[in-house]
Chain A
Amino acid sequence: GQQVMQIPQYQHVQEGEDFTTYCNSSTTLSNIQWYKQRPGGHPVFLIQLVKSGEVKKQKRLTFQFGEAKKNSSLHITATQTTDVGTYFCVRYNFNKFYFGSGTKLNVKP
């Protein structure tokens, strides 16, 4: 259907360790967006990927869009406690934003 699957559902890391969440779709995506929701907060847009094989970086965050445009990943290098939250990939198509199941990241200091 319209959903995108995300793994893992939960990830607990020690501060300083790396973290990666993966997003998979059974159909080709026109684009993929990533959002972050802090505990008790609301989702906040991080980035959009459009091109096949695209890689974008935001400081310690690296976002990739697969060559076939069916998967995407978010990698955080050297996690910090401020990275705690749930990360969602989002499929967007004609005014419809479909959220993945999310990956909840917990960072132990």
Chain B
Amino acid sequence: DTAVSQTPKYLVTQMGNDKSIKCEQNLGHDTMYWYKQDSKKFLKIMFSYNNKELIINETVPNRFSPKSPDKAHLNLHINSLELGDSAVYFCASSHPQGTDVLTFGAGSRLTVL
């Protein structure tokens, strides 16, 4: 039973294209996140949603648009892809009760050519 699942796992596309990454969690968590991990392994928070409401938007270009249709899903749509968007994108969820920890998906490796 996968707790946080994201698709696709790999995505190779041309500059200028639009692509989406989907994420679903079956943990019943209230909060979901998108993180970007670059080639140097830096993990940077992009967005966070709590019960479908955007609560964190960390200076991400507006080519990136998250959408949360319900609290179990958080999708990421990227318009006009650029070379610098190549990275691994991780979805994660957390439940702020007791010890609030992040549970990550397996990641989606995006390569922009």
CB of A30, distance to nearest CB on chain B (Å)? 11
**Residue A78 at the B interface, CB < 8 A?**
no
Whether, in the assembled complex, A35 has its beta carbon less than 8 Å from a beta carbon of chain B, the answer is yes
Question: Contact between A43 and B96 (Cβ–Cβ < 8 Å)?
Answer: no
Partner of A48, one of B35, B45, B96, B101: B101
A33 to B103, CA, bound (A): 13
Asked whether B50 is an interface residue with its Cβ less than 8 Å from the other chain, the reply is yes
Known A95-B48, A95-B50, A96-B48; judge A45-B102 contact (CB<8 A). Answer: yes
The binding surface of chain A is classed by DSSP as strand
| Given known contacts A95-B48, A95-B94, A96-B56, A45 and B42 CB-to-CB distance under 8 angstroms | no
Q: Is A69 located at the chain interface by the 8 A CB criterion?
A: no
| A43, B56: Cβ atoms closer than 8 Å | no
**Known contacts A42-B90, A42-B105, A43-B90; is-contact A92 B45 (Cβ 8 Å):** no
Chain A residues with a Cβ closer than 8 Å to the other chain, count: 21
B100 at the interface (CB under 8 A from A): yes
Name A42's contact: one of B42, B100, B106 (CB within 8 Å).
B106
Q: B101 touching A33 by the CB < 8 A rule? A: yes
Contact (Cβ within 8 A) A102 B41: yes
- A98 and B45 in contact, given A42-B90, A43-B90, A48-B99 (Cβ under 8 angstroms): yes
Among B43, B55, B103, point to the contact of A99 (Cβ < 8 A).
Answer: B43
Chain A contact residues, CB within 8 Å of chain B: 33, 35, 37, 41-45, 48, 86, 88, 90, 92, 95-99, 101-102, 104
